[in-house]
Amino acid sequence: MGRCLYCPEGFGNVDASVKAEEFDVRAEREFWDEIKRGLVDEEGLVRKQSLHILKTVLQISGGSQCHSGVSEKKSQEKHPVPHGMTKREMWADKEAKSLGVWEPCNSAGSPLNSQQQWEAFILLYEMLEEYGTHLVEAAWHHQLNLLLQFSVSNNNFTSYIFRGFHQKQTDILREAFSWVTILWQLGFQHDNPQVRCLIMESFLGIEWMKYGNTAKSVSESFVLGPFIEGLDDPVHHKDFGVKGVYNSKTIEGAARFLHQYTSHLNTREGIAFLHSLASVAKHHSFGRAGLMGLAECIASAARGVGRYDSGAKWSEDAFPDEVQAESSPENFSDSRTAFLDVLRFVIESSKQHFNPNYRLQVCEKVLEAAASLVSTLDVPLEILLHFIATLPRAFTDYGGSLRLKTQEWLLGSATEHCNVNCCSAEIQLLKNLQDFPERFTSSQYLVDGFLSLDDEDLDAWESESKRWARALFLIIKGEHQLAPILRFIQNCGVNICKQQSHLEWLPVKFLVLARSLVAEIQIMQERSAQCGIKIKCRSEISLLDTVDQLCYTEASMINGRIHGLFLFILEELVSFADLSSSIFWSSITKETTLPGSVRGKLGGRSQRRLSTSTTTAILQAITSIQVVASISSWCAQFKSDVKLSCVWNFLWKFFWKTVSSPACDSEAGAEICLAAYEALAPVLRALVSTSSSLSLDLIRENDEFSAPVVEVKCCLDSLALSFLRNINNLLAVGVLARTRRAVLLNQKWICLESLLSIPYSAPWNVLNLDDGSLFFSDSAIRCIFSDLVESLDNAGEGSVLPMLRSVRLALGLIASGKLDSHVSSCNGVDAQMMWRLVNSSWILHVNCNKRRVASIAALLSSVLHRSVFIDEGMHLINNRPGPLKWFVENVIEEGTKSPRTIRLAALHLTGLWLSHPKTIKYYMKELKLLTLYGSVAFDEDFEAELCDNQDASTEVSLLAKSPDPELTEAFINTELYARVSVAVLFYKLADLANLVGSANENEDCHAALESGKVFLQELLDSAVNDKDLAKELYKKYSGIHRRKIRAWQMICVLSRFVTDDIVAQVTHSLHISLYRNNLPAVRQYLETFAINIYLKFPLLVREQLVPILRDYNMKPQALSSYVFIAANVILHASNANQSRHFNELLPPIIPLLTSHHHSLRGFTQLLVYQVFCKYFPMLDYGASEMPLEKMCFEDLKSYLAKNPDCRRLRASMEGYLDAYDPIASGTPAGIFIDRIEELGFECVPTSLLEEVLNFLNDVREGLRCSMAKDVVTIKNESLKTGEDGNCRQTVIDSQLPKETSFDFQKKLTLSKHEKQDSDSSSVLGNNEACKQLLEMEKEDELLDQSFQSRRLTMEKIRASQQQFILVASLLDRIPNLAGLARTCEVFKASGLTIADASILRDKQFQLISVTAEKWVPIIEVPVNSVKHFLEKKKRDGFSILGLEQTTNSVKLDHYAFPKKTVLVLGREKEGIPVDIIHMLDACIEIPQLGVVRSLNVHVSGAIALWEYTRQQRSQ
């Protein structure tokens, strides 16, 4: 504790006159506060000391036996047991009553005095600190409700603290709850998760209105601390996230409590509390459930603020000691600002949990809280824009789930606590947004009349302007609202070149603003297009959904106005860009005045090795060119204009001038060249997207000027080769810092990607190349390809995507050149090129630390290019793996460790294999790996990247399409995706194989058939011969179990590929597998496959199935499978074969109805009845007209239908009898559909056989329990009558504790006269026989002597044993029992009782006990017989003790053990049951000095036994 507290033992008995003069520490408020802090301290010793001091002050000597004054009669009264209690609850309920927990309720309804209330508090505290879970579970609710009931009275237990002082009722009430929160805090932080759940459930279940709505008296520090942090405990949210439901009962209860807690707060106080509540997320890292609970609590509390207050102030009783000072409107606005800002942090925290549905729910709750308490007029525009920008765009853009709510809040229609009406809020917010451009572009950043900026400034301005543009298009309703903004843009655009000093506004900031406006319009168009609403299409009836503010007409007019405006100022912008870009061609050789921020550093994106003035000019030039490129490309989407011609001319000339500039040998010159390439990337993107005949003319003009005349002109060769040559020269100079070289490389690949995209762009495809010119020559493409491959293995993280895209584009161009499309005569890609590519690509993939979805997908689509994959020479070369096969082998093998890699590989490869079936034969090993693959089921990062990352979704869309996208999409983020894709592939190939022999057959049809047959034979061979797949003994849900299921699932899909030439081999492997032991989950797929085969080849039924069914010596499990196969063959055979199958298969099945094997018999009864119901409907003619066999079948059917056991079995199998569906059972949808409906084990439904076994096991278990109860009853009766009954001693090997243990049948010894009689006997008439009898007599005499010796020895051993019996029948853990056996032998205990003597044969027991069980008497006493055993020992004169922590327990070192002692040990967790505690003569406990509350039961028993031995030895 923080300071030493002292209270004398006899404090309460001091004379009154002396007490008046002495200092009474109990009158000091700090004393009680220190006690409270100590009771919840992290150190257990501090808590124990604080509790001891509290008991001393309150004069409470005992803990839980606090109601000892209640009469014994009352304590023994029988209390009614609540209905529906479990056995555990009933047992704990009894123990709680035995400790006096329930007795206050029985005191005739009289209220508890202060002392009794303190005793109840201490009892609850000790329950959490000392007792087991069962006692807390039974007594907590009662005692806490009792404490709360009297806490709201005028004379509650805390009045003891305020005695002698006049205090308000609210002070006493708050003090009472400050003590109760100690209990809740301990409960929330308890080590046992069951206790934590119980306390949280109890707290949330309190009906606060029942106690006068005292929720407001709970301290705020408790709510913001232990309660909210306890809400983050995963044990409270067991079903959270299941089936996409992100909620739990605990979250709902917490939200209700916070709603009630804030209902008496006014708006100002409510916002202050909610700010503190949301701020918890800043210093506590919440899990998924905890953060969702926090968001729910914030929203619910926000709805509750001012609910009962009518907007004025909170009731005076809430915080009477706090003066509710009037706050100024400015302070109130600041509190709302702070609240909105901290809500932004909660939204940011949700992003780390990836799942979009989860994040949507968190954002929805946070937005709801903001809309409840914050008006857009009360916060600065900057804070508001930051908050809106934090919301994911997918939720607020067109079609977003939160767009309508966000708009309603911004426009004031959703805010409940506005100070002005909604119209004023809308007008004011719109006015602020309209004034933003002028404020934003003002020249406030000028220093001495000169603008100084760097990349950080530019990024900050760009972020700010994007936030503004996003909010602007959320609230505008019409064109007139944009008029002031458009006027400002027009004025600035027209005068951008005229203003010399730019003292009024900054051109750079204006350009950033214009670019953000255009970018937002483009995003708006893309989002609306995804929703089926296209802004640019004027033929549409409407533009947006009803939830959006703009109508189609207004949106069209807005886009038209903005388009016209930018066309109007575009010429001025081009002039400004031309003027600004002159810095790129200036001759700067060396910078002498580097800024201090970059001097001596290596450089980075924001650390250009240039002076401040040069950096400013460079950034202005880059920005101006980027703006011209983005605006021109957007304007070109609407219509071609003459004004755009000058733009294209400027951009092409800039491109040509940049790539033609020589490399500089100075660092400053290299930095300027790097800046030019940064500006070139957006220029090329704009040129690619808006290619036109004018662009082609400009290319030809530049090409003719620079390139020599050749027969075939390749218009892009000179541009591309000049670009590569110059940028490589710049890198080779080596004057750039390493980080700056990385930036240059990134720009190189981005620009190269755009160059290679030119032939693919839609406008270029429609160009008419009349002069026969092409885009690239073969040599140029190969040069580019070589440069890419050489650099691929050293690619930086930012360059991976553009490089792989460039590879994909280059391969496509080479393939098109082979087809005489865009490239001059080309021989295609050879194996040497591909080997270089796959090696570099593999090094790149392996060295990549982060497995990004976009990069993996780009790698697969680039290396495994469609144009290359079709070439069979790339898969196999001279019977050795080709480059593509080598790459696929490595990807699949590495993919077993990377779930997303193998999923994307399965998607791409199955699409390629379906397009090119002839290549499948090279990949049987890989197909098998994909089939048997399994990994982590859910990858949140994968789903989040597909949702949030545009590059990821784009690259995945470029992979080969799945054969069945609708089915496989449901499994894209599961471990089943790989094999579902393979299953769908072969199912589609089977459709192709069915065309063999038809008029539409081709090479692909034959390739599909052969590949399916080969793969089926491969899997069957593995199922029969593979070390793991052929195992018969394996655990359920083990790895072998999973692989067996996966293999046979795929074999079922492949059943369509079975043909006449392989059917014999297939059925041979099938029968081998059916004969083997397999779990029902595996057997059902074997049965499905067999049914498919016999339905397809009906002639095999008589040849194979009938003889097998007559083999009655077969294993019952295998016979059950064949019965199921035969029954379904009968039921689903074609009309032509049904009668024959019935006559052939039913006779060998009927005898199995009498099988001694219960599961086979019941299984056969079900299936035979199903067959009879189909083939033997009720007949009208009499029995005399019916054939004999027909009469037998009818009677058998009648028996199966009416027998109660058969009916009960059939009723329990409802839904399982039709497990086989001839249409769906062999299809991917039929096999894997269960995973979509319910997350299960490998998509395996419960089979009919498994359900039958479960049913029969349940029936047997019920019968077994009934018989066990009867046996226990008989044994207990024998104990009562004095017989040993169930308490038998188990003698092992040489252990002989009782004389009766030596009873045995002795050999025959003849008397003297019997010998004489025998002499005359013909049987024993010879001397040899007499000699043998004499020898036998001598052996008997020796045996008697040995027996007497051993008997005397055992009597000595028994006499030396201590009269101490250790009762361990309540224990069930073998290590503890074996250790106790060893301890009992060491200290010569006279007995050890255990519940089941069979554990003595357990390997683990024997290993730990080291033969101790052979030397100590082991007595078998089942749990139900322990009481009777103790009663018998008590009658024999033994003292019955218990080793248990109770309130009346005696310390071990203070207790004098009787000589005849029986010591009872409790269960490992629950301790000794209450009914046995009542039988004990005393309870002893081991003194403890540490924090941990208990010892291991074996250790405890050993300590107690040693103490008993020590005392006996000392006597």
pLDDT tens-digit series, residues 1344-1366: 666 666 666 556 665 678 999 99
DSSP characters over 503-517: -SB-HHHHHHHHHHH
Q: Lowest-pLDDT range, 587-591, 775-779, 1272-1276, 1419-1423? A: 587-591
DSSP E strand boundaries for 1322-1388: 1362-1367
What share of the chain in percent tops pLDDT 70? Answer: 73
Residue 65 pLDDT > 50: no
The partner residues of 990 in beta bridges, in order of sequence, read: none
| Beta bridge partner(s), residue 880 | 877
Tokens of residue 908, six digits? 């791409």
Quote the pLDDT of residue 43.
86
Instruction: Return the pLDDT at 747.
Output: 92
DSSP SS3 for 1462:
strand
The answer, yes or no, to whether residue 1306 has pLDDT greater than 50, is no
Report the alpha-carbon distance of residue 768 to residue 21 in Å, rounded.
113
Higher pLDDT, 217 or 583: 583
Per the CB < 8 A criterion, the answer to whether 1392 and 1384 are in contact is yes
What would the mean pLDDT of 415-434 be, rounded to a whole number?
71
For residue 77, the model assigns a pLDDT of: 41
Nearest to 470 by CA among 532, 522, 536, 539: 522
Residue 1288: per-residue pLDDT: 44
Query: What are the pLDDT digits (tens) for 76-113?
Result: 444 444 445 554 555 555 555 555 554 444 443 455 56
- Spell out the alpha helix ranges (H) of 477-551: 483-494, 507-530
Q: Is the pLDDT of residue 600 over 70?
A: no
Exposure string of 772-781, with b = 16+ CB inside 10 Å and e = fewer, is ebbbbbbebb
Which residue, 172, 166, 64, is CA-closest to 125? 64
Question: What pLDDT does 757 receive?
Answer: 87
Average pLDDT over residues 513-519: 92
The string over 426-454, giving b where at least 16 C-beta atoms fall within 10 Å of a residue's C-beta and e elsewhere, is bebbbebbbebbeebbeeeeeeeeebebb
- Report whether 1016 contacts 1022 (CB < 8 A): no
Q: Give the other-Cβ count within 10 Å of 697's Cβ.
A: 13
CA 599 to each of CA 337, 666, 1160: distance values in angstroms, whole numbers, following the listed order: 40, 16, 87
Q: What is the mean pLDDT of residues 1275-1285?
A: 54
Per-residue tokens: 1093: 């085969």
pLDDT, tens digit, 9 for 90 and up, residues 1212-1231: 887 777 888 888 888 998 88
Task: Return the minimum-mean-pLDDT range out of 689-693, 788-792, 1066-1070, 1105-1109.
Answer: 689-693
- The CA distance from 1148 to 1106, in Å, is 7
pTM for this predicted structure: 0.73
For residues 437 and 485, is the Cβ–Cβ distance under 8 A?
yes
Distance CA 628, CA 1062 (A): 69
Percent of the chain with pLDDT strictly greater than 90: 30
Q: Element (H or E) spanning 1019, and its range? A: helix 1003-1025
Distance, CA of 1169 to CA of 1199 (rounded, Å): 10
Residue bearing the bigger pLDDT, 748 or 945: 748
> Which pLDDT belongs to residue 1285?
43
DSSP 479: G
Helix (H) or strand (E) holding 1199: helix 1188-1202
Given this model, what pLDDT does residue 78 score? 42
Asked if the model's pLDDT at residue 1315 lies above 60, the reply is no
Helix axes 422-440, 381-390, angle to 10 degrees: 100
**CB burial of residue 1361 (10 Å; 0-12, 13-18, 19+):** middle
Per-residue model confidence as pLDDT tens digits over 873-884: 899 988 899 999
Handedness of CA 282, 283, 289, 293 (dihedral sign): negative
| Residue 541 vs residue 1465, higher pLDDT | 1465
Q: Look at residues 480, 481, 570, 478 and name the one whose alpha carbon lies nearest to residue 518.
A: 570
Q: Are 1155 and 1161 in contact (CB under 8 A)?
A: yes
Residue 447 has pLDDT above 60, yes or no: no
7 or 792: which carries more pLDDT confidence?
A: 792
In this structure, of 176-185, 515-524, 1352-1361, 1464-1473, the range with the lowest mean pLDDT score is 1352-1361
Does the structure show a pLDDT above 80 at 1167?
A: yes
User: Cα-Cα-Cα-Cα dihedral of 1262, 1266, 1272, 1275, to 10°?
Assistant: -140
SS3 category, 1465:
strand
Max mean pLDDT range (707-711, 1130-1134, 1260-1264): 1130-1134
In this predicted structure, what is the pLDDT of residue 1303?
A: 37
CA torsion, ordered 852, 853, 858, 861, to nearest 10 deg = 140
pLDDT value for 851: 74
Mean pLDDT of 804-814: 91
| Least confidently predicted of 267-281, 405-419, 1105-1119 | 405-419
Write phi, then psi, for 451 (nearest 5 degrees): -80, 130
What is the chain's mean pLDDT, rounded? 78
| 251-302 confidence digits (pLDDT tens) | 999 999 999 889 888 888 899 999 999 999 998 889 889 999 999 999 999 9
Which H helix or E strand runs over 1483?
A: strand 1482-1485
Per-residue pLDDT band at 621 (split at 50, 70, 90): very high
- Please tell me which residue, 1176 or 1078, carries the higher pLDDT value: 1078
Instruction: Write out the two tokens for 1106.
Output: 């009938």
- CA 633, 635, 639, 645 torsion-angle sign: negative
HSE toward the beta carbon, residue 373, CA cutoff 13 A: 35
Dihedral sign, CA of 755, 756, 758, 761? negative
DSSP single-letter state for residue 1028? T
List the strands of the sheet with 1288-1290, edge to edge: 1288-1290, 1418-1420, 1389-1394, 1362-1367, 1461-1465, 1439-1443, 1482-1485, 1450-1451
pLDDT in tens, 1182-1198: 445 667 777 788 888 88
pLDDT surpasses 50 at 712:
no
Residue 393 CB contacts under 8 Å (≥ 6 apart), including other chains: 400, 470, 523
In angstroms, the CA 1130 to CA 1137 distance is 9
What pairing do the DSSP bridges indicate for beta strands 1450-1451 and 1439-1443?
A: unpaired
What local confidence, expressed as pLDDT, does residue 1329 receive?
Answer: 58
| Mean pLDDT of the region 938-957 | 79
Instruction: Give the model's confidence band at 900: pLDDT under 50 very low, under 70 low, under 90 confident, else very high.
Output: confident
Query: What is the number of other CB atoms lying within 10 angstroms of the CB of residue 1280?
Result: 12
**Which of 806-820, 968-982, 1395-1409 comes out lowest in average pLDDT?**
806-820
1362 bridge partner residues: 1389
- 937/978 Cα distance (integer angstroms): 12
Q: In this structure, are strands 1362-1367 and 1288-1290 parallel, antiparallel, or unpaired?
A: unpaired
3-state secondary structure of 1451: strand
Mean pLDDT of 37-44: 86
The pLDDT of residue 503 is above 60: no
Distance from C-alpha of 45 to C-alpha of 54, rounded to nearest angstrom: 14
Of 1469 and 1226, the one with more pLDDT: 1226
pLDDT of residue 696: 60
pLDDT for the residue 1305: 33
Please say whether the beta carbons of 387 and 344 come within 8 A.
yes
pLDDT in tens, 1383-1398: 999 999 999 999 988 8
Q: What is the pLDDT of residue 906?
A: 92
Please count the CA atoms within 13 angstroms of the CA of 411 that sit on its side-chain side.
16
Question: How confident is the model at residue 296, as a pLDDT?
Answer: 94
Flag whether pLDDT at 1377 surpasses 50. Answer: yes
pLDDT at 1020 over 90: yes
Is the pLDDT reported for residue 540 higher than 50? no
Q: Is the pLDDT of residue 1466 over 60?
A: yes
pLDDT band at 1058 (very low <50, low <70, confident <90, very high): very high
Higher-confidence residue: 86 or 864? Answer: 864
What single string gives the DSSP state of each residue in 573-607?
HHHHHHHHGGGGGS-----S---TTTTTS---TT-
Enumerate residues 6+ apart whose C-beta is below 8 A from 994. Answer: 1056
Q: What is the pLDDT of residues 656-667, one digit of tens each?
A: 888 888 777 788
List pLDDT tens digits, range 1141-1166: 988 999 999 999 888 887 888 888 88
Instruction: Specify whether the CB–CB gap between 691 and 648 falls below 8 A.
Output: no
How far is Cα 1307 from Cα 781, in angstroms, rounded to an integer?
106
Distance CA 1157, CA 1159 (A): 6
Residue 169: what pLDDT? 60
Give the pLDDT confidence score for residue 52 in this predicted structure: 86
> Is it the case that residue 966 has pLDDT exceeding 60?
yes
d(CA 885, CA 872): 10
Written as one string, the DSSP assignment of 1060-1125 is TTTHHHHHHHHHHHHHS---HHHHHHHHHHHHHHHHH-THHIIIIIHHHHT-TTS-HHHHHHHHHH
Identify the residue with better confidence: 604 or 467.
467
Classify the C-alpha dihedral 90-92-98-99 as positive or negative: negative
CA angle 1129, 1132, 1133 (to 5 degrees): 70
1475-1505 burial by CB neighbour count: b if 16+ within 10 A, else e?
A: ebbeebeebbbbeeeeeeebeebbebbbebb
Select, from the ranges 134-148, 326-340, 1400-1414, the one with the highest average predicted confidence (pLDDT). 1400-1414
